[in-house]
Amino acid sequence: MFLGPTHGGSRGAYLPGGFDLYLRGRGDDAERLVHHHEAQHVLLTDTTAWGAALVLTSQVPQWAQLFNQLLELCRTTHESFATYMSCSVVAASTGSPEAALASYPDYVGLVDRLDRHLAAIPGEHRRSLAATALARACMQTPVIGQMAAAWPQALTPGELREIDVPDGRLRTLYRDPAGLPVDVVAAADEAVVAEFGPQPLSADLPGAGAAALDDRFDEAWARWEDTVFAGLAARLTEAGATVLGSHEHLPAAAELVARVAVTVPGLRLTVDLDPDPPDRRMVAQVLRQARLWLTTEPRPARLITFGQDVDPEEVVRVVDATTRVAGRPNVVFGARLPTRLLDGYAFPESDRARLAGLDGPVLAIRTLADDGTDRDTDAVWHVRLSDPADVAELIAAWDGGADVTCCVAASCLSDERWRTRWLPVLQDAAPVIWLIDVPVASLAGEFTGGRTVHGIYLDLGANPTGARRAVAFKVSGQTGAWLAVADDVGIQLLTGQLADLPGIDLRMTGANWTGAVPALRLVLLDLLRTESYVDLRALVDHGN
């Protein structure tokens, strides 16, 4: 599923399991619209029966054709929901999304059609909740049970009734010229007032601003949405549909996954049977699936082993010529998992084979140099260090004439043997920046335990990579600083996730960052220049 402009501009692409962002780096509403649009695809897929079918068929090779068929049968529902909700989020945070949406004319009609259907609902927040309830009602079909009945054969579209596919249900609901039935809306309003009083509804009237988004109304709005869902489910049932309850598909999905896993080697799927995942878990799902590209495709790269393919003098010569910042070479010792390098760069086959055979994180200096072909193009040289003693040898080769930092991806810290062997050397050699490339929850032990965590936002300015913002954290009693790079929305979500960790003491003001900023700046310059993308999916790519 794609959100793309007519000419240039920011765009996104979603498939179950992840979405890619290609942003212009301006930090404008178009970028926020694109990010939220793809995030809404994640939420609708991960919480519905049809979404579960999409996720499963996307990972089973013999169901590739069925995946494409199921995708087409829900495309209008998915895109209408994602576009409407992303516009609602932008409207609530920065103002009207109309100018940003105008760059995506194929989606304007989807928003207009859904907006007309919801026009009788008096509050903007309730309209968003109704859009969610409508999408859920369309997606809660019996498809998982039908897939299980057909297994090991693939379900065919001919076995699916029009009223039991998402877009067929959407067409049925849209046939009502009056829009969303007023009695459904009235029943939801009455349910809220009866249990929570009139305050939530009063907060969602014109002129109330963002009052409806106050956390104290969360339970009331959940009741309102569920009541609308029930009303729409009743309408669809009258039309002959089989509408499952909000979480009714989960047991069948878990059973089907278990059956399929027996015959599909390497299937990495689990079904979370928790019926009400908290908001922070859903935000974590969005963060885990987002990938912000700093280029349009993986950068060309070469793997070069220090001491075998190149000597210290050659490394000094190339780095000195290609990585200067303020007149001095910028030397960054970077540690990454081999799987991350394989996914993020276009290595020659011989280099890919060498990387695939490595056990544990790779420590390398990266720089841009000739790719070794006759095409007159540059590649990212990964000058790999195979022994901790190589670090001191390389630093000595510059004889104090270079700025040296270390950037260790957080995913590398899960390898205890590597940590023991390499980290003492790196921490003695230069300032260490820990790059956050894993879900925030997996780092809870690094940030909690009664220690104060100070944070700072870093504005990277307009740049062609799309990475507009960064955020850094330092933990009392620890050396080094933690760093995450993303767009505006990504940094906002990540910082919120960190702040929600149980027991954390996060303070975004009041710290002196003078000593850490130079190293952060040098690492950021290296990242933007040599990485293909940034995300929090390192452990997913690694098979964890």
Alpha-carbon distance 515 to 389, whole Å? 27
Closest alpha carbon to 149 in 68, 4, 52, 256: 256
Alpha-carbon distance 56 to 262, whole Å? 14
| 532 secondary structure, DSSP code | S
Low-confidence ranges of the chain (pLDDT < 50): none
The contacts of residue 233 (CB under 8 Å, 6+ apart) are 137, 140, 243
Asked, for residue 530, whether it belongs to a domain, the answer is yes
Asked, for residue 215, whether it belongs to a domain, the answer is yes
Q: Which domain holds residue 501?
A: 296-535
Mean pLDDT rounded to a whole number for the chain = 92
- Domain-ending residue, one of 276, 309, 328: 276
Asked, for residue 282, whether it belongs to a domain, the answer is no
Task: Tell whether omega for the bond before 122 is within 30 degrees of 0, i.e. cis.
Answer: no
The contacts of residue 173 (CB under 8 Å, 6+ apart) are 117, 134, 137, 138, 180, 232, 235, 236
In one-letter notation, the amino acid at residue 199 is Q
Same domain? 351 vs 249: no
Do 536 and 437 meet the contact criterion of CB atoms below 8 Å apart?
yes
Same domain? 27 vs 56: yes
Asked, for residue 288, whether it belongs to a domain, the answer is no
Alpha-carbon distance 506 to 539, whole Å? 25
**Number of domains comprising the chain:** 2
Same domain? 254 vs 398: no
Alpha-carbon distance 510 to 251, whole Å? 49
Same domain? 325 vs 384: yes
Q: Where are the beta strands (DSSP E) in 226-298?
A: 290-293
Alpha-carbon distance 6 to 53, whole Å? 31
Residue 449's pLDDT is what? 84
Residue 2's pLDDT is what? 57
Same domain? 320 vs 459: yes
Same domain? 515 vs 383: yes
Same domain? 267 vs 128: yes
Same domain? 256 vs 312: no
Same domain? 23 vs 167: yes
- Domain-ending residue, one of 248, 276, 304: 276
Whole-angstrom distance between the N-terminal and C-terminal Cα of the chain? 26
Same domain? 369 vs 496: yes
Tell me the pairing of strands 452-459 and 505-507. Answer: parallel
Asked, for residue 529, whether it belongs to a domain, the answer is yes
- Domain-ending residue, one of 276, 304, 326: 276
Asked, for residue 291, whether it belongs to a domain, the answer is no
Do 407 and 333 meet the contact criterion of CB atoms below 8 Å apart?
yes
Tell me the pairing of strands 11-15 and 2-3. Answer: antiparallel
pTM of this structure: 0.93
Residue 276's pLDDT is what? 65
Same domain? 238 vs 326: no
The single residue listed with the structure tokens 């040098």 is 522
Asked, for residue 259, whether it belongs to a domain, the answer is yes
Same domain? 183 vs 310: no
Residue 544's pLDDT is what? 53
Residue 465's pLDDT is what? 83
Do 36 and 90 meet the contact criterion of CB atoms below 8 Å apart?
yes
Asked, for residue 541, whether it belongs to a domain, the answer is no
